[in-house]
Amino acid sequence: MFRAAQGALFVMFWLMAGGMLLTSGESPLVVLLALVGITMPGVTANRAMRNARQRQGKSMDFTITWEDVVNLSSRDVLVHIVSLLIGFGMIAASVALSSE
């Protein structure tokens, strides 16, 4: 149930934001860079929280507690930080390309 809701949220975001950017005249490359740059950190954050909850023996739901944050592994945090840097880079590239 949670994964279906999460997938529906990402699809809804892509359709809404992508449609708005495409109708405003942006090129498909700029739209793709922006959408992937925004989505990738969200996916890695959800994956890290899912792993933390599995380590505690809990099922995944829509709430996040401090126990979940405390039980994050260093690998999950590192992957999320790297995805944030890559995502910000993709967003910066899309902004640079869109101003041309």
Which pLDDT tens digit goes with each residue over 48-60?
Answer: 988 888 888 888 7
Host domain of residue 84: 2-98
Sign of the C-alpha dihedral computed for residues 80, 86, 89 and 90 taken in this order: negative
- Could you tell me if residue 59 is left (phi over 0), alpha (psi between -120 and 50 degrees) or otherwise beta? beta
pLDDT, tens digit (0-9, with 9 covering 90-100), for 61-85: 777 888 888 889 999 999 999 999 9
Both structure tokens of 68: 């979940």
> How many domains are there within the chain?
1
Per the prediction, the chain carries an average pLDDT of 89
